[in-house]
Amino acid sequence: MTSQSAAPIKVIYDTDPGIDDAMALLFLEYAPQIDLVGITTVLGNASIDTTTHNALYLKQLFDIAAPVARGAGKPLVVPMVEEPHFVHGRNGLGEVPVPETLSVQEHELPAHRFIIDMVRKHPHEIVIVAVGRMTNLALALREDPGIAELVKEVVIMGGAFGFYGHSGNVTPVAEANIIGDPHAADEMFAAPWPVVAVGLDVTQECVMTTAYMQELREKGGKAGQFFWDISRFYEDFYRRATGIDGIFVHDSSAVAYLLDPSLFTTRAGPIKVVTEGIAIGQTIQKSALRSFPPTPWDGLPDQKICTAVDGPRFLDLYFQVIVEGAAARA
Ligand code: BDR
Ligand code: CA
């Protein structure tokens, strides 16, 4: 873990809650090294109304100070498709009841302007952790391209690069956050800010088993119980879809990279996203191991992808942060 005496890292969390999104939000909120300065929402696991409502509900339920700014309700170019209710439930939180009326309100700015505003107020200090579609990031870049050089780092959960056979979860070659808005992802990878893509290559190498979730429920206070409740639906989906006994740890893997990059092995190189055809949503990093004739990757910035993870150490870190964070707030 990074030193806790250093100034906390200012984070904007761009998210589509979402079960694993909710688990990653508390990971950020409870990590002592993080100063969560904003939550921005995007469509994805559910509609923008639902993901925004869920983010507000989580803010209220866990007394999170960060404001919630509503983001994009549709992708840049590709048509809307039905949300994956079979993964996160109709309400995005595994069918666990969410009150209709909340006591907290949305921020007055739309997500992409909130991002621009915060980056301009805190140049070189903000890390964006983006675990939904990249639409808000692309809209922010389109409106104010200069922010790219003022953002400290962008850590995304998204993409799949074929390591350990992990190449897609929506199609054989596409991951959900990227295929949901491939044009936005392509623009995001092309911008001159440092991006780390934490893709299926590592998130599907890490499983929170039912036994792990049970222990988290016992020791993780209100958060642990909540995670248990919302993840029952998600676990059923994964059991049916992949045969695993537990859940993949997608969005929290991006947070883990931020808290302790030594958990991951990375590889650098420019990345393009396929935006049409049967491979739409595929993420491809140009190899540095050989030379090619001119390609569309030329001139793009090197971005990092995660190629391996120390799963046990990551799961221990998550457990420790949640249990200690919950105890401190009990
Ligand atoms: C990603 O898609 C969503 O279902 C999850 O929240 C995660 O961000 C995994 O492909
Ligand atoms: Ca997500």
d(CA 80, CA 325): 38
Q: What is the dihedral of CA 4, 9, 14, 16, to 10 degrees?
A: 10
Determine the pLDDT at residue 138. Answer: 99
The amino acid occupying position 216 is L
What residue ranges of the chain have pLDDT lower than 70?
1-5
Q: What is the DSSP string of 61-76?
A: HTT--S-EE---SS-S
Determine the pLDDT at residue 5. Answer: 67
User: pTM of the full predicted structure?
Assistant: 0.97
Determine the pLDDT at residue 288. Answer: 86
CB count in 10 Å sphere of residue 164: 12
Going from the N-terminus, what domains does the chain have, and what CATH number goes with each?
9-328 (3.90.245.10)
- Ligand 2 midpoint to CA 15 (Å): 6
Determine the pLDDT at residue 1. Answer: 46
> Based on the number of CB atoms within 10 Å of its own CB, is 100 exposed (0-12), middle (13-18) or buried (19 or more)?
exposed
Does the CA dihedral 209-155-111-79 come out positive or negative? negative
Mutate to test the pocket of ligand 1, among 15, 19, 21, 85 (most ligand atoms within 8 A of CB): 21
Predicted confidence (pLDDT) per residue in 39-95, tens digit: 999 999 999 999 999 999 999 999 999 999 999 999 999 999 998 898 899 999 999
Mutate to test the pocket of ligand 1, among 54, 136, 251 (most ligand atoms within 8 A of CB): 251
Helical ranges in 64-209 per DSSP H: 85-88, 111-121, 135-143, 176-179, 182-190, 200-203
d(CA 304, CA 235): 30
Does the CB atom of residue 87 touch ligand 1 within 6 A?
yes
Does the CB atom of residue 169 touch ligand 1 within 6 A?
yes
Copy the structure tokens of residue 43.
């469509």
